[in-house]
Amino acid sequence: MIFENRQDAGRQLATHLAEFADRPDAIVLGIPRGGVIVALEIAQALRLPLDIFLAHKLGVPGHEELAFGAIAATGSRYLDEEVIREMCVSPEAIDRVTTQVRQLLHQRALLYRGRRPPLQLAGRTVLLVDDGIATGASVYAAILALRQIGPAAIVLAAPVAPASTCAWLRGSVDRLVCLHAPPDFHAVGQFFRDFSQVEDDEIVRLLQPPA
């Protein structure tokens, strides 16, 4: 075991991100669900604002595991023209899948954030945080969607990820902070003593503004 729990992982990550403490242009974004708990520890340690970042890949109809793009709850969208061309994804299919995923993200955003508007990201240094990365597909989708908003820089932070995934994602962000990148990787949970499931109501509670 490397980490006691997600809170411990967040505190350890915060020590490697100390240069961003109190920076007025920096913001911490947690990827729901577990990434929000890690991100909260970082935001508190560095005295930075915290928000969530919801994004989802756009799957090729009939081959949903293959992404032809990504969309964020903010509305930004990335399309991979090469995949669209090779898989012959029609404009109608693109619009249909985009609408379905946009509705899903809208529902999740309402659940987690309520009617509070998302924090502004354009021109800011974004610390994008997850509780661990396996294949990297969902995180890559988030990065692609986030790029469309125009942040000044994206710093991807995670306690653990396979070495191969780190090598792949490193070229997509301005900086990658991963505390443990083993070549022999089976699942994120194997590196935590407590990796219990995070429920939606806990995320809602953590994101509530102080009274």
> pLDDT tens-digit profile of 150-167?
999 999 999 999 999 999
Angle CA 116–110–48, to nearest 5: 45
- Residue 75 pLDDT grade (very low, low, confident, very high; cuts 50, 70, 90): confident
Amino acid at the residue 26: A
Query: Of all residues in the chain, what percent carry a pLDDT higher than 70?
Result: 99
Instruction: In whole angstroms, give the CA distance from residue 164 to residue 129.
Output: 19
Question: Do residues 133 and 196 both lie within one domain?
Answer: yes
Question: Do residues 176 and 78 both lie within one domain?
Answer: no
Please compute, for residue 168, the number of CA atoms within 13 A of its CA located in the half-sphere on the CB side: 13
Question: Do residues 49 and 77 both lie within one domain?
Answer: no
Q: Residue 168 is encoded by which pair of tokens? A: 């792949």
Question: Do residues 182 and 100 both lie within one domain?
Answer: no
Question: Do residues 138 and 176 both lie within one domain?
Answer: yes
Determine which helix (DSSP H) or strand (DSSP E) holds 111, and give its type and residue range.
Answer: helix 91-113
Question: Do residues 126 and 29 both lie within one domain?
Answer: yes
pLDDT exceeds 90 at position 169:
yes
Which of 167, 108, 106, 109 has its CA nearest to residue 140? 167
Q: Which residue has the higher pLDDT, 44 or 135?
A: 44
Q: Please check whether residue 141 is in contact with residue 55, taking contact to mean a CB–CB distance below 8 angstroms.
A: yes
**Boundary (domain end) residue, out of 79, 98, 113:** 113
Question: Do residues 43 and 108 both lie within one domain?
Answer: no
Q: Please check whether residue 2 is in contact with residue 159, taking contact to mean a CB–CB distance below 8 angstroms.
A: yes
Read off the pLDDT of each residue in 171-177 and give the average, rounded to a whole number: 97
Question: Do residues 131 and 155 both lie within one domain?
Answer: yes
Q: Residue 18 is encoded by which pair of tokens? A: 């100390």
Please give the pLDDT value at position 184: 86
Question: Do residues 42 and 82 both lie within one domain?
Answer: no
- What Cα–Cα distance (Å) separates residue 81 from each residue in 68, 93, 101, 102? 7, 14, 18, 19
Q: Please check whether residue 64 is in contact with residue 50, taking contact to mean a CB–CB distance below 8 angstroms.
A: no
Does residue 211 form part of some domain?
Answer: no
Question: Do residues 105 and 172 both lie within one domain?
Answer: no
Does residue 12 form part of some domain?
Answer: yes
Q: Please state the pTM of the whole predicted model.
A: 0.86
Please give the pLDDT value at position 1: 66
Does residue 104 form part of some domain?
Answer: yes
Full residue range of the structural domain in which residue 91 is found = 55-113
What pLDDT digit, counting tens, does each position of 14-61 carry?
A: 999 999 999 999 999 999 989 999 999 999 999 999 999 988 889 999
- Residue 76 pLDDT grade (very low, low, confident, very high; cuts 50, 70, 90): confident
Please give the pLDDT value at position 67: 84
Q: Return the CATH number at 83.
A: 3.30.1310
Total domains present in the chain? 2
Q: Return the CATH number at 168.
A: 3.40.50.2020
Question: Do residues 88 and 173 both lie within one domain?
Answer: no
CA-based diameter of the chain, in Å?
52
Question: Do residues 10 and 99 both lie within one domain?
Answer: no
Q: Please check whether residue 185 is in contact with residue 134, taking contact to mean a CB–CB distance below 8 angstroms.
A: yes
